[in-house]
Amino acid sequence: MTDPLIIPRAEHGVSRKAISPNAVKVLYRLKDAGFAAYLVGGGVRDLLLGGHPKDFDVATDAHPDEVYKLFRNCRLIGRRFRLAHVHFGREIIEVATFRGHHDQAEGENESRVENGMLVRDNVYGTLVEDAWRRDFTINALYYNIADFSVVDYTGGLQDLQTRTLRMIGDPEVRFQEDPVRMLRAIRFAAKLDFRLANELTELLPQQAHLLDVISSARLFDEVLKLFLSGHAEKTFDLLLRYGLFQHLFAQTADAFSGEDTYAERFVRQAMRNTDARIQVGKPINPAFLYAALLWPSVHWHTTQLQNTGMPPMPAMTQACREVLDQQISQTAIPKRFRLPMKEIWMMQLRLPHRECRRSLRLLETPRFRAGYDFLLLRHQAGEDETLAELCDWWTEIQTKDEAGRLAMCRPISPQASGKKRRRRKAKVKKA
């Protein structure tokens, strides 16, 4: 291990004024209590790049129980990594104890490795050990509240200047310890517009299969981080380029393999729209995001079932169930999102029917807006030329008053009305 590069306050751009006041409070209280206190990670990285970070993490030689005693508003969390969360209203300052190498653990409870993967890691160490334990060089920069210097053990400052994402240590070993680091590499490369170091570009496709052993619940969370950072389209491109996408969405990746390019165009357009909404501060519902990511497979399965003679609604229902059942083996989808996803998909069969009562009822349903936006997305991706007129109709009817809406609606055909009367009579007879 080499001596650190220490950049004094006069030679770097990190200012306390740009740091959350609550993070500064935590840093000073730790320092005044006799502990080392450093701002670390993405906050330092983004400040050096001239950005405005939202999250600020603190590293210290104080153990979690010692941090807990210093802050009445502190909560201790985590098993794999024991962390202190200091709460200031909605803002949380995360405080982590310097970590040592897991092979230095004194007992089974501190560190545990299974098949090369680190499953528990509460081994405490020094500042230099903590720096070399982090994932990427640009995330191993420390701002010292004691003298306002920036400390660099791993060459992170040089990689910031060359805009290079480089793993600390042997990338193959680090990916085996935690395969999710591959997804973090993609996320940071897309978010920061950095190039991946050569050793990463060669290794990612070879190690992508390691993602298959990660819990589906953890991968669900990682997918949201990947695509809700404001750089979804670039993230999508990188996941495809390095063979990671298929280990998150195998069914969708299979849909990309055919001659028809619609599936990939659709997902790309969904990513582009997601970025546009985030840029203007609009929220993204995870149910809509996942509905878009899985639509190529749902659409394909529905078409195949209809080709066997199954009516559209049962075909869509079965396709939804089969696709969701298969997907949750890769990335878990909480139940609170599955029902909205199904409703968005099923709405695509209901929107083409524009009879008066049906149309007006659809406009009042809670999921109408999501279903309508999904219809627009299908049109933008070029699924079917006939969708243009349908999109225009639903766009216009939303601007009308009740009389205008009634004027736009189609009357119920005598044939359809007769079918309804016959169904009512049949129900009466059964009763």
What is the model's pTM?
0.87
- pLDDT (tens digit, 9 = 90+) per residue, 141-152? 999 999 999 999
User: Is residue 37 included in any domain, yes or no?
Assistant: yes
Q: 201 in a domain, yes or no?
A: no
pLDDT at 411: 72
Q: What is the pLDDT of residue 187?
A: 97
Same domain, 251 and 400: yes
User: What mean pLDDT do residues 223-233 have?
Assistant: 97
More confident position, 412 or 51: 51
The CATH number of whichever domain residue 71 belongs to comes to 3.30.460.10
Average pLDDT over residues 364-380: 95
Among 134, 162, 190, the domain boundary falls at: 162
Percent over 90 (pLDDT), the chain: 81
- What is the share, in percent, of the chain residues with pLDDT greater than 70? 90
Q: Where in the sequence is the domain holding 156, given as residue range(s)?
A: 1-162
Decide if 321 is inside a domain: yes
Last residue within a domain, chosen from 144, 162, 180: 162
Q: Specify the pLDDT at position 289.
A: 97
| pLDDT exceeds cutoff 50 at 331 | yes
φ, ψ of residue 242 in degrees (nearest 5)? -105, 15
Helical H runs in 71-139?
Answer: 127-133
* Exposure letters 75-90 (e unless 16+ CB within 10 A, then b): eeeeeeebbbbbeeee
Instruction: Sort 59 into a burial class: Cβ within 10 Å, 0-12 / 13-18 / 19+.
Output: buried
Counted domains in the chain: 2
Of 162, 190, 210, which closes a domain? 162
- On whether both 410 and 262 belong to a single domain, the answer is yes
Residues 148 and 10 in one domain: yes
Provide the pLDDT confidence category of residue 358 given band limits of 50, 70 and 90: confident
pLDDT in tens, 107-117: 444 545 555 55
Answer whether residue 7 is part of any domain. yes
Q: Which residues contact 246 (CB under 8 A, 6 or more apart)?
A: 208, 253
Looking at residue 83, the DSSP 8-state letter turns out to be: E
Please check whether residue 231 lies inside any domain of the structure: no
Q: What amino acid positions are annotated as catalytic residues? A: 55, 57, 135
- For residue 252, the domain's CATH number is 1.10.3090.10
pLDDT at 9 over 80: yes
Q: What is the pLDDT of residues 256-313, one digit of tens each?
A: 987 789 999 999 999 999 999 999 999 999 999 999 999 999 999 999 999 999 999 9
